[in-house]
Structure 1
Amino acid sequence: MTRKIWLFDTTLRDGEQVPGAKLNIYEKLEVAHQLKKLQVDIIEAGFPASSEGDFQSVKQVATQIGNTSDIMITALARAVKGDIDAVYNAVKYAENPMIHMVLGTSDIHVEKKFSKSKDQILQIGIDAVKYAKTLMPQVQYSTEDASRSDFDYLWSTIEAVIKAGATMINVPDTVGWAVPEQFGELVYKLNDRIKNMNPDVLLSVHCHNDLGMATANTLQAIKNGADKVECTINGIGERAGNAALEEVVMALSTRGDYYDAHTTINKKEIMNTSKIVSSLMGLDVQVNKAITGDNAFAHSSGIHQDGLLKSRDAYEIIHPTEIGLDDMELVLTARSGRHAVRNAIQNLTIDITDEQFEAVFKDFLDLADAKKEVYDHDLFILVDNYLHRNNEASSFMQQAESFYVLDDLQVISNPIFPSATVQVSKGDQVRKASTVGTGPIDALYTALNEVVDLDFDVMEYKISSVTRGKEALGKVKIQVKYEGKTYIAKATHTDVIRASAEAYLNAVNTILVEQIVPSTIF
C-alpha cells in the first residue's frame, strides 16, 4: 500500500494574496465548495486577523464547508494571542478545525524582521503553541523561511513546539530559495528526527516558485518523507506563486512507481476547479502550463499528431479524461501533417480519394496560413469548394451550406448607444441584423444571435494580445453552453471586434458539425 499524502490547499489564503485576486465572501464559498468536491484534506480559508471581512469569510467556510468531518478547515495566525483568537473564533464552527500559526526561524527573520534574539523567538513560538493547544487539539506550526534557517536552530524550534503540543510541523521555502536536492536532504533529516520523537506528528512543506522549482521541491520533499504538502490551484500565490496542486497530484498519480505515494484527490474535478479559480480571481492560466493550461493536451505538430494517431502513448502520458477534460485536442494548423488532416476529414464521414485529398490539403495549408487554426466546418467547405471548382459531383453541398460565414460588420462604441450591424452568409442566404447592447461586444453578439438558428449562452469571453506592434494580432476565446454541453471556440485577427465575431461563429459552426456528423464518431 502506498503512502497517503495530505493535500493542504491554501488558494483562499496564499493564493488570495495575489494583487487583484481578492474574493468576496460568496466567491470564497464557491471556491471552497469546489475544493471540497476536489476532496482536498485541508482548506486554509484565509487570515482572519487581517480584516473583519476575511474573518467572516473564514467563519462561513468553516460553517458551510467544514460541516463534515472528512475535511479540515484552518486559517493563518501570527504567533500572537490576538491572531490565534481570531483563527479560533472563525474556524471553531467546523467539525474538524485547526489553528495554523507561523513564525520565522531564519537569521534574516529573527534578527532583521523581529529584532529579537533566537531564544526570544523560540519562547514566543512555544508560548503561542501552548496557548493554541488550550483552544483546539489540532495545531500546525510553520517555521517561516525554514530553507534559509540554521539547521540546529530550526530543529530546536521544531522539537520545542512539538513538546508544547504542535500536531503538524510545516517547513516553508518561503522565498523559493531551495533547490530540490538540498531541500530533500533537509526534509529527510527533519522527518527522521520527528518520527523518532513523535510518529503521530505530520511533517509538511510549503514551497514557493521564485526560481521555478516549487513543484520539484514539493515532490522531492514527498520522496524524502513529507506527509503533507501545501499547494494552490493553478500555482497562484505571492510573487511567482506556490507549488501547483494539480501538478503535484498528477505527478504522484503518473509516477507512482517512483514516489510510492498517493493522494485522495478527485482528479476528475481538477479542470473544473482550475476554471472556477481562474474565473473568480481574474487570473488567466498560462496556455502552456502543465495539466491545466489550454494547450496541455492540444497537439498541433504534424509529427506529434501522426504519432498520437498511431499510438496515444507516443506523446501522451496523462489521459485528458483523468482530470475532467473530454479528450485530447488535435489542433489543425499549418504545422499539421497529412495524417492528421486526413484523419479529421474521415472523422467527418467525408469520403474523398487520395488524389482529391492532396488537392484539398494544399487548399488547407493556404487557409491555415491565413486563419491560424482550421475548424471542422472549414474542412466541409474546403472539400465542397474543391469539388465545385473541378466540376465534380458533390454530396457535401447541403452540409457545406449549413455553416455561417461572416461577410461584414460594423460596430459603434459609445457610452450612450453601443450598436452593431452584421451580415452573415449561410449558403445562398444572406442574413443581416442591427442591434444595440450594453457595450460593443454585447451589441455584436446580440446581432449575431438574431441571424443564426441556434440560441446558446455565452459563458466566458476572453481577449488577449498574441503579438505586439501596430498590426498586433488579438485572440478571442469564448465558451458557450448549448443544450447542457460546453463548447470553446477561438479566432485571431488584427481587428479584435472581427475576431470576436469569428469566434462566435466558430462556436456556432462547431455545434452544427455535431448535428451533421453521426454522434457515434465523437
Structure 2
Amino acid sequence: SPIHMKHKLKMDPEEVIQRVSEMVTYARSLCADVEFSPEDAGRSEPEFLYVVLGEAIKAGATTLNIPDTVGYTTPDEFYKLIDGIIKNTPGMHEGITVSVHCHDDLGLATANTLAGIRAGARQAEVTVNGIGERAGNTSLEEVVMTLKTRHPVFGLETGIETQQLSRISKLVSNYTGIVVQPNKAIVGSNAFAHEAGIHQDGMLKHQSTYEIMRPEDVGVNQTNLVLGKHSGRAALRNRLAEMGHSLDDVELDKAFARFKDLADRKKVITDLDLEALIADEFYKPRDVYLLNGLQVTSGTMGMPTATVRLRGPDGVIHTVATIGTGPVDATYKAIDQIVNVPCTLLEFNIHAITEGIDALGEVTVRIQSEKGSTTMDAQSEIQYIRVYGGHGADSDIIVASAKAYINALNKLIIAQTEGVEKVKNDFGVMLG
C-alpha cells in the first residue's frame, strides 16, 4: 500500500517491484513452491498491485497470498480485489493458486475470506478459534462450516473432518491460555444452546427449526453422561477411544487414577470432564516443578493463607507458606517464592466445565517474564514480548489455579533454560 511504501519500507514503486523480483527469484532457487504475499494489499492501489503480482509470477511465485493486513476492507471490496487480481494480473494461469489472509479488526475476517473464495481464491489462511494478532484472524471453524453448510452456494470441499473442530478448539485454548468466548460461532459453549421459550418449543418439535447444523457435526456430544464412580478401566478406555484418545497402558493408568479421584468427588463424569482431565494430564509441558500438596485457609475471619508443596527439578520437595489478598493470590505468592522466576500474571480465567455444584473447574492463565523474552516479526521487524499460557483442571478451583500457574511457569522455565525451540519441539506446537 502507499502507506507502507512511504512510512515503513521507504521505497518508491520501482524499488518495490525490483525487490519483489529479486526476493522471489532467490526463494525459487531454494524450493519449487513459493508463496508471495504483498502486505496490506487491502489498501493497495489495484493497478500497481497487478504489476507487483505479475512480477512475482514472472520470478517464479506459485501462490499469491492476498492479505487484508489491517482488516480494513468490506466483503464487496475484497471480492472485487480478488476478482480483479485473477482477471488482470500479467502471467496469471491455472497453475497459480490465489490465497486470502484476512484480519478481524472490523469483525469482517470470515466474511471477507468467503468473499475472496467466491471470487476465485482457492486457499484461505485461517486459525483455530480465530486467534491472531490484534483482533485475530479468520476463524478456521467458521469458514469450514460455512462451506459445508452452504455447499450449494460455494460448491467446494475442504476435506476437513468437521467432527474434530470442537476438540481442536479446546486443545488450542488449553495450549494458549486464550479462552473461547461462550457465544463464539461453531465452538462456543452457547453455540447450540437455546434459552428463549419459543426457540425451545421449536427445537422440541423439530431440530431444524433453529439449528442449521447438528452439534455432532462439529464434535459436540449432547448425550454425554457416560461414567460414574463404579466405572472400570475398560469402560474408561472405551469411552476415551470413542472420543478419539488412544492411550497406552501407562497413560491409561494415569488417566484412570485421575478419573477415580474425580469420581470420588463428582457423581457423574461427562465427556467434557474427560476432555479436561486428558488435557490436564497429558497436554502440558514436562514437569520442571510439580504440585505435590496444597493447603489453603480463607474467609472473612482472617488473612488468606496458602501452604504450597512443590517437587523441584532435582526431585527435592519445597514447602512455603504465605498470606495474600485471597486464596489464589496467597497460592501464587508461595509458588513464586519456590520457583523464583520473576513473571507478570497477565490474564486469569476460570469457568465450570459442566453444570452443578460439583462441577470440574478449569483455569487458564497467561504470564510473561519480567526479564523480557521477545520474538521479532519477520515482516514488520517489531519485537513482541512472548507470552506463555497455562491450563489446569480440578474439582477444587484453587488447586486448578495452582496447576495452571505451574503449567505456564514450566513453559517459561523451559524456554529460558533450553530455548523457545525446545518448547516447540516438546509439543509439536508453540505453547506460548
Normalising by structure 2, what TM-score? Answer: 0.55
CA contact (8 A) 2:50 2:90 kept: no
Residue of structure 1 aligned with 2:307, choices 416, 423, 445: 416
Residue of structure 1 aligned with 2:82, choices 182, 187, 198: 187
Q: Separation in 1 of the partners of 2:61 and 2:42?
A: 20
After TM superposition, the structure 1 stretch with the greater mean CA deviation from structure 2, 196-205 or 115-124, is 196-205
2:187 counterpart residue number: 292
Q: Separation in 2 of the partners of 1:290 and 1:463?
A: 23
2:113 counterpart residue number: 218
SS in 1 for 2:142: helix
> Aligned in 2, Cα 1:192/1:310: closer, same or farther, shift over 3 Å?
same
> Aligned in 2, Cα 1:416/1:502: closer, same or farther, shift over 3 Å?
closer
Deviations 1:103-161 (A, max 9, x none): xxx00111111111111011111100101111100000001100100111100000011
Residue of structure 1 aligned with 2:222, choices 310, 327, 333: 327
1:384 counterpart residue number: none
Measured after TM superposition, the shift of residue 502 of structure 1 is: 10
Measured after TM superposition, the shift of residue 479 of structure 1 is: 6.7
Q: Separation in 1 of the partners of 2:125 and 2:5?
A: 24
2:125 counterpart residue number: 230
> Aligned in 2, Cα 1:291/1:130: closer, same or farther, shift over 3 Å?
same
Measured after TM superposition, the shift of residue 199 of structure 1 is: 1.1
Q: Separation in 2 of the partners of 1:477 and 1:306?
A: 27
Please state if 1:173 is matched with 2:68.
Answer: yes
Please state if 1:477 is matched with 2:352.
Answer: yes
For residues 20-59 of structure 1, the aligned pairs below 5 Å read none
Q: Separation in 1 of the partners of 2:89 and 2:76?
A: 20
**Which amino acid is 2:115 matched to?**
Q
CA contact (8 A) 2:25 2:60 kept: yes
SS in 2 for 1:144: coil
Measured after TM superposition, the shift of residue 417 of structure 1 is: 6.3
**Which amino acid is 2:307 matched to?**
I
SS in 1 for 2:146: helix
Q: Separation in 2 of the partners of 1:184 and 1:142?
A: 17
Please state if 1:164 is matched with 2:59.
Answer: yes
Residue of structure 1 aligned with 2:98, choices 198, 203, 213: 203
CA contact (8 A) 1:195 1:201 kept: no
Q: Separation in 2 of the partners of 1:328 and 1:304?
A: 20
2:171 counterpart residue number: 276
Measured after TM superposition, the shift of residue 211 of structure 1 is: 0.5
> Aligned in 2, Cα 1:488/1:148: closer, same or farther, shift over 3 Å?
farther
2:155 counterpart residue number: 260
Deviations 1:11-56 (A, max 9, x none): xxxxxxxxxxxxxxxxxxxxxxxxxxxxxxxxxxxxxxxxxxxxxx
SS in 1 for 2:305: coil
Q: Separation in 2 of the partners of 1:191 and 1:320?
A: 37
CA contact (8 A) 2:307 2:320 kept: no
SS in 2 for 1:278: helix
Q: Separation in 1 of the partners of 2:94 and 2:115?
A: 20
- What RMSD, in angstroms, separates the aligned Cα atoms of the two structures? 3.5
> Aligned in 2, Cα 1:205/1:279: closer, same or farther, shift over 3 Å?
same
Measured after TM superposition, the shift of residue 194 of structure 1 is: 5.0
Structure with max Cα Rg: 1
Deviations 1:83-113 (A, max 9, x none): xxxxxxxxxxxxxxxxxxxxxxx00111111
1:134 counterpart residue number: 29
CA contact (8 A) 2:54 2:90 kept: no
For residues 3-152 of structure 1, the aligned pairs below 5 Å read 106-152=1-47
Q: Separation in 1 of the partners of 2:151 and 2:137?
A: 22
CA contact (8 A) 2:297 2:306 kept: no
> Aligned in 2, Cα 1:202/1:158: closer, same or farther, shift over 3 Å?
same
For residues 361-380 of structure 1, the aligned pairs below 5 Å read none
> Aligned in 2, Cα 1:202/1:194: closer, same or farther, shift over 3 Å?
farther
Unaligned runs of 5+ in 1: 1-105, 330-375, 378-409, 419-435, 445-461, 465-474, 481-486, 492-498, 505-522
- Counting matched residue pairs gives 264
1:60 counterpart residue number: none
Unaligned runs of 5+ in 2: 225-266, 269-295, 299-303, 310-318, 332-346, 363-393, 400-432
1:495 counterpart residue number: none
Measured after TM superposition, the shift of residue 222 of structure 1 is: 0.6
SS in 2 for 1:169: strand
For residues 335-374 of structure 1, the aligned pairs below 5 Å read none
SS in 1 for 2:189: coil
CA contact (8 A) 1:476 1:500 kept: no
CA contact (8 A) 2:352 2:359 kept: yes
CA contact (8 A) 1:147 1:173 kept: yes
**Which amino acid is 1:306 matched to?**
D
> Aligned in 2, Cα 1:328/1:170: closer, same or farther, shift over 3 Å?
farther
> Aligned in 2, Cα 1:109/1:245: closer, same or farther, shift over 3 Å?
same
Deviations 1:288-309 (A, max 9, x none): 0101111111222222111111
Measured after TM superposition, the shift of residue 328 of structure 1 is: 8.1
> Aligned in 2, Cα 1:189/1:164: closer, same or farther, shift over 3 Å?
same
For residues 311-326 of structure 1, the aligned pairs below 5 Å read 311-326=206-221
Measured after TM superposition, the shift of residue 276 of structure 1 is: 1.0
Residue of structure 1 aligned with 2:201, choices 277, 301, 306: 306
Q: Separation in 2 of the partners of 1:312 and 1:132?
A: 52
> Aligned in 2, Cα 1:289/1:263: closer, same or farther, shift over 3 Å?
same
> Aligned in 2, Cα 1:219/1:411: closer, same or farther, shift over 3 Å?
same
Measured after TM superposition, the shift of residue 189 of structure 1 is: 1.3
CA contact (8 A) 2:74 2:112 kept: yes
**Which amino acid is 2:119 matched to?**
N
CA contact (8 A) 1:288 1:294 kept: yes
> Aligned in 2, Cα 1:181/1:328: closer, same or farther, shift over 3 Å?
farther
Q: Separation in 1 of the partners of 2:112 and 2:62?
A: 23
1:250 counterpart residue number: 145
Q: Separation in 1 of the partners of 2:107 and 2:121?
A: 20
